[in-house]
Every structure is written in structure tokens, then in C-alpha cells.
Chain A
Amino acid sequence: NAGVMQNPRHLVRRRGQEARLRCSPMKGHSHVYWYRQLPEEGLKFMVYLQKENIIDESGMPKERFSAEFPKEGPSILRIQQVVRGDSAAYFCASSTYRGPNYEQYFGPGTRLTVT
């Protein structure tokens, strides 16, 4: 059973370009979470999605950032017109609705560098 997969693992973008980060949850998991880890800072929650629904986007910046988790395919975190401050590691986690633990499993992350 493959774990949470993220690609690309490393992404370099110039200021003003778009970044697309992909996350494939563990098999059987229908809940996806995105977190961001800025240099020298802790992990910060961004958004929580179920298939075709955004459940909690309280951590998402209001502009330039969007996320989706379509019925088919991976979850996508999209950053438009990237700026240097977007340089960070972006982690995806997944969970199943079948309890009792609802443990979150993390992917290896995508390291975004904006030049």
C-alpha cells in the first residue's frame, strides 16, 4: 500500500509564474490536508478537502492560492503569480473517514523555490 505521494519533489519557479503541486492520498483515503513549512518556522495548516469539497480553508492566503480535490485524480494546490515569500516546503497529508483514530499520514513534501 503506497503512502501519500507528492510531486514534484522540488519545484523552481520565477517570480510571477504559476506553481502546481500534486498530492495523491493513500489508497482508500478521501480526506486531504495541505500544510506549509516556511524556513525556520513550524508547520502551518492551509486547507482541508474531501472529494470535490473544501471543508476548511481558514489557513489559505486570500489571494493567489487555491486548492481542489476532484472526483478523479490527485489533489492540486495552485499558487498563481508566485513571489519569493512563497518559497517553502508544502506537505500533504491524508486520512480516512473510518475511525477510530483518523490518523493523518504525511507525504514527502514539495520544496518550492521562487527565484
Chain B
Amino acid sequence: KQEVTQIPAALSVPEGENLVLNCSFTDSAIYNLQWFRQDPGKGLTSLLLIQSSQREQTSGRLNASLDKSSGRSTLYIAASQPGDSATYLCGPRGSTLGRLYFGRGTQLTVWP
């Protein structure tokens, strides 16, 4: 059974810092992995999808890396802004159209 852990559980930083959010998963047999952000009381917004064959994926100030063999993914946020404040979730997927697995997320607060 896939277990997902995200570290840290919460992070509070001043704006401008470069951030590292970690995700680990117990079953390395994944098809891909999605990173999401969730604002309070809202749904999930997909940020990045990284395929199991990829090592990295970038979108703007976001960069996701994947080390499938060790069961780890990292989300880097460059030059953080208050608008980045949200909960960040990683969701590995075991098969092409299968379910996503989630941990508790990292709650990020970026203050001005």
C-alpha cells in the first residue's frame, strides 16, 4: 500500500526565500506524480506533473524533481511571494488512469 509523507508539515518564511518541499512515497512503482496547491476552502490546483521517466519538470518559479528509485520528489519554489501561501500536496499515481495517493501536505505561509 502506498504511503505518502510530506516534510515539513508547516513552513513560515519571509518573502523572497527559495523553498524546498519534500515528498516521499513507499512504493516506487509509480506512473507519474502531480504537485498541487490547495487554498483554504478551495479545491486542488495542479501545478506540475512529472512522469516516472523524467527527473525534472519546471513551470515558472516552480521546479519539481523526482527520484523514483528512492521514492522521493521535491518541489522547489524560487523567490517566494505572499501569494504562494497555501497547502502543497504531492500525489503519486500507481498506474496510467488510477487513483492518486496523498499525504497531509505542507502548509506554507509567506509573509511580506
Task: Point out residues on A near B: beta carbons under 8 Å.
Answer: 4, 31, 33, 35, 41-45, 48, 55-56, 59, 91, 93, 95, 97, 99-109, 111
Of B49, B102, B103, B104, most buried by chain A (CB within 10 Å of CB) is B102
Query: Do the beta carbons of A42 and B43 come within 8 Å of each other?
Result: no
CA distance A29 to B58 in the complex (A): 25
CA distance A71 to B41 in the complex (A): 31
Query: Do the beta carbons of B43 and A48 come within 8 Å of each other?
Result: no
Closest CB in chain A relative to B111 CB, distance in Å: 23
Query: Do the beta carbons of A43 and B89 come within 8 Å of each other?
Result: yes
CA distance A97 to B44 in the complex (A): 21
B contact residues around A105 at 8 Å (CB): 46
Query: Do the beta carbons of A102 and B32 come within 8 Å of each other?
Result: yes
- Specify the chain B residue showing the minimal Cβ separation from A91: B43
CA distance A107 to B104 in the complex (A): 19
CA distance A28 to B91 in the complex (A): 23
Closest CB in chain A relative to B92 CB, distance in Å: 12
Query: Do the beta carbons of A56 and B99 come within 8 Å of each other?
Result: yes
| Contact status of A103 and B49, CB under 8 A, knowing A108-B43, A109-B42 | yes
> CB < 8 Å: which of A44, A95, A108 contacts B42?
A108
Query: Do the beta carbons of B102 and A43 come within 8 Å of each other?
Result: yes
> CB < 8 Å: which of B32, B45, B97, B103 contacts A42?
B103
Beyond A43-B100, A45-B101, A107-B43, 11 extra complex contacts between A and B, CB < 8 Å: A33-B99, A35-B100, A43-B89, A48-B99, A56-B98, A59-B99, A102-B97, A103-B34, A103-B49, A104-B91, A106-B43
CA distance A106 to B4 in the complex (A): 19
CA distance A108 to B102 in the complex (A): 17
Q: 5 A-B Cβ contacts within 8 A? A: A31-B97, A42-B89, A103-B49, A106-B36, A108-B42
Closest CB in chain A relative to B30 CB, distance in Å: 12
B contact residues around A103 at 8 Å (CB): 34, 46, 49
